[in-house]
Amino acid sequence: MTARSVAPFYGRSDIVATLTKHLDAVQTHGQGRIVAVRGRRQVGKSTAIDTFVRGTAVPYVFAAGTLGAPTRTQVAEATEALTSSTRPLPGTEMVGGLPLRTWRDWFRAVEAAARQGPTVVVLDEFPWAVAADPSLEGTLQNLWDQTLEELPVLLILVGSDVAMMDRLSEYGRALFGRVRPLVVDPLNPAEIAQALPDATPTEVFDAYLVTGGYPRLVTDLARSGGNVPRYVADSFADLYSPLVSTARFTLDAEFPDSPAAARVLAAIGADETTTPRFNDLIPAGLEDSEVTRYQTSTTRALRVLTDDKRLVTKEVPAWSPEKGRLRRYRVTDPYLRFWFRYVERSLELISRGRADHAFGRFERDWSSWRGRSIEPVVRESFARLAPDDARLERIESVSAWWTRDGQTEVDLVGATRERTVVLGTIKWRPDGVISRREITHLRSAIGTVPRSSDALVAAVSPEGQPVDGADLTFGAADLLGAWPV
C-alpha cells in the first residue's frame, strides 16, 4: 500500500475496537471472518480502517475497487496493493511474477498467504468491483466456503453504496450468512468535541449542524480556528471549499441516474417546515396523464430516499401508526440540511464572487434555522440519555407530536410502551431563555398528547438554566454527555 499523508484522526474508537475484536477472534480460533463496512462517502470509513490495520502487527493488504474500470484493471491494481503494503502478506513478494488475471486468482494468492498465519484483507469500494464483475460475490462465496473460512483471514469489504452493502447479507445473496455488518457513521457531537477542544458544548452542536460530522469538514473547521460563522464566511468565498463542494460530490455519486430522487431531496431540503410541497415539482400546464406520471415518479423517488438511500427520514407524531397519513419528512444528514438551506440556493452568488450576499443570507437566518435543525439532534440525545438518567425513567422512544392542522406541536415526547413520561420544549436561542408562558403552553398539552396525563415537563436550552414551572431542565452539556467518544 502506498503511503498516505497523515490527517488528524478523531473518535472512531468504537470502530477500531470492533475490528480489533474480530481480528482477535480470527487469531484465537484460526477461522476466517467477513466484515461488511458501510457508510456514506466522506464519513471516514477508509481512514478508520487504515488506522486499525496500521495499529496491528498482522500482515495486511488494502486494495480498492475503481469506478468504471474493467475487471482486469481492478485485479491488476489489487495485485499491486499486495506487494506495496507496508506490512505485506507473506509470500506476496513472488506475486509480481504471477499472472493474476481474475479475482479468483487474487483470492488464491490471499489464501496462500493466510496458510502461513493471520492476515487482514481490505477491499475498499467493493460495490465498484462487483459492478465490473457481477460474478465476484459468487466467486468469493465459493472460495470462502472451500478454504478461506478455515484460515485465519479477516476480510473487510467496504462500500459507500449503503443499499448494496446492506443487501450483501440478505437471503438469496451469495454471501448470506457469512457477513458481519459494521456501520461507520459521521463523527458524533462528542467526537467533534475532541476535534474542537476549546469549544463550548453549544459551539460543538453548532459545528455538528454545519459539518454533519463529516471528518473532512470537521478537520477543515478545526484548522480554521473552530469559529462556525467565520468558517462559513471563509468557505463561501471559495466555490471549491470543502463546505461548499462536498455535498455536490456526494449527491452526484448517489444519483448518477435518478434525477427524480435528486429533485425530491432538494425539495425536502429547502422546505422550512419539513413538509415538502411535492406539487411544486410538477410543471404547470401538464395534461392529467402527465401529472399522474410525475406524482408516481415522486412517490417512487421518496421510497428510494427513505428506504434505499436513507437520506430522508419519515416522521410521524408520537403514538401514531407508522403508516398513518399524518407524516412529514426531513433530510437525515445535518450537513445536507445545512447545504440545501444555505449553499445550494447561493451557488450562483458564490460562483460570481458575491460570497458577502450568500453569507448575509446565513447571518439573517442562522439563529432561527439552527433552533429548528437542532430538534432531531436533541431527540436523539434524549434517547441516548434515557438508559442512564434516572429522570428519564424507562423511556424507550423519543419523538415529536403535532396536530393535523399544525397549530399545536410538542418538540419532544419521551414515552415507554405504556405511557408518555416526558413532554419537552426545545428553545435553542442565543440567550437560552425559556419563558414561564412557554412552559404554561406546554403544560396545556398534557392530556392532549396521548397517554400523557402524568407526564413531566422538560425545558431544553443551550445553557440548561432552571425554568420556573418546568420539572426537568437540560442543557447542551447534558446532551453532549449522551454521545460516546
Q: Where are the alpha helices (DSSP H) in 10-146?
A: 13-29, 45-54, 71-84, 103-114, 126-132, 136-146
User: What's the whole-number mean pLDDT along residues 318-323?
Assistant: 92
Choosing from 150, 183, 216, the residue where a domain stops is 183
- Tell me the C-alpha to C-alpha distance, in Å, between residue 111 and each of 1, 140, 146, 247: 19, 12, 11, 40
1 found inside a domain: no
User: What's the whole-number mean pLDDT along residues 358-369?
Assistant: 92
Pair (401, 337) in one structural domain: no
Pair (199, 335) in one structural domain: yes
Range of the domain at 71: 13-183
Res 180 pLDDT > 90: yes
Pair (126, 145) in one structural domain: yes
Choosing from 121, 152, 183, the residue where a domain stops is 183
Pair (132, 57) in one structural domain: yes
4 found inside a domain: no
3 found inside a domain: no
Pair (332, 445) in one structural domain: no
**3-state helix, strand and coil shares in percent for the chain, rounded to the nearest 5:** 50, 15, 35
Pair (42, 74) in one structural domain: yes
Q: How many CB atoms lie within 10 A of CB 238?
A: 13
Pair (206, 303) in one structural domain: yes
Q: Band the pLDDT of 8: cuts 50, 70, 90.
A: low
β-pairing, 312-315 vs 153-159, is unpaired
pLDDT digits (tens, 9 = 90+) for 73-112: 999 999 999 888 999 998 876 655 567 889 999 999 999 9
Domains contained in the chain, number: 3
Q: How many CB atoms lie within 10 A of CB 20?
A: 13
Res 396 pLDDT > 80: yes
Angle between helix axes 215-223 and 228-236 (nearest 10 degrees) is 100
Classified as helix, coil or strand, 50 is: helix
Pair (107, 222) in one structural domain: no
* Mean pLDDT (the chain, rounded): 89
Q: Band the pLDDT of 293: cuts 50, 70, 90.
A: confident
Choosing from 183, 209, 240, the residue where a domain stops is 183
pLDDT at 84: 87
For residue 463, give the C-alpha cell. 445553557
- In terms of phi and psi (left: phi > 0; alpha: psi -120 to 50; beta: otherwise), the region of 454 is alpha
Pair (158, 51) in one structural domain: yes
Res 153 pLDDT > 90: yes
User: What's the whole-number mean pLDDT along residues 382-404?
Assistant: 91
Res 281 pLDDT > 70: no
Pair (173, 203) in one structural domain: no
Pair (381, 461) in one structural domain: yes
CATH code of the domain covering residue 155:
3.40.50.300
E-strand spans in 287-442?
312-315, 328-331, 397-402, 409-415, 420-426
Res 280 pLDDT > 70: no
pLDDT at 98: 62
122 found inside a domain: yes
6 found inside a domain: no
> Which residues make Cβ contacts (< 8 Å) with residue 444, sequence separation at least 6?
none
485 found inside a domain: no
Pair (40, 110) in one structural domain: yes
pLDDT digits (tens, 9 = 90+) for 245-266: 999 888 887 776 677 788 888 8
pLDDT at 170: 83
pLDDT at 5: 45
- In terms of phi and psi (left: phi > 0; alpha: psi -120 to 50; beta: otherwise), the region of 477 is alpha
